[in-house]
Amino acid sequence: MLTLTHTASEKVQDFIHEHGVESGEAGLRVAVLPGGCSGFQYGLNIEDAPEDDDEVFEVGGVKVFVDPFSAQYLDGVEIDYVTSFMGQGFTFRNPNATGGCGCGSSFTV
């Protein structure tokens, strides 16, 4: 479905550790939400456990939780963590996106 680069996986594992979750159930929620300047925006969150209707899979040693609505937009997406002179953060490469905004946080399909 989606991939995390090695750098992104390490950063997520750091965040899970900082979140203080001891359970092996914790993971990264990847969501697509209506909004943003292009129609949809990505959401990331560390959660203690998946919801009942989530798709759950492991990517690079990280449990990933995806809700049914978001799953349709995340096939083939690569999530990376980049550091540059302008800042640092997660980036998304979505082969299904037909457009996006200049900041890279929202997209159209």
Is the whole-model pTM more than 0.75? yes
Question: pLDDT (tens digit, 9 = 90+) per residue, 13-44?
Answer: 998 888 777 667 889 999 998 876 667 888 99
Three-class SS of the chain? CCEECHHHHHHHHHHHHHHCCCCCCCEEEEEEEECCCCCEEEEEEEECCCCCCCEEEEECCEEEEECHHHHCCCCCCEEEEEEECCEEEEEEECCCCCEECCCCCEEEC
| CATH superfamily name and code, 3-19+27-98 | HesB-like domain (2.60.300.12)
Q: What ranges do the domains of the chain cover?
A: 3-19+27-98
Name the pLDDT band for 106 (thresholds 50, 70, 90).
Answer: low
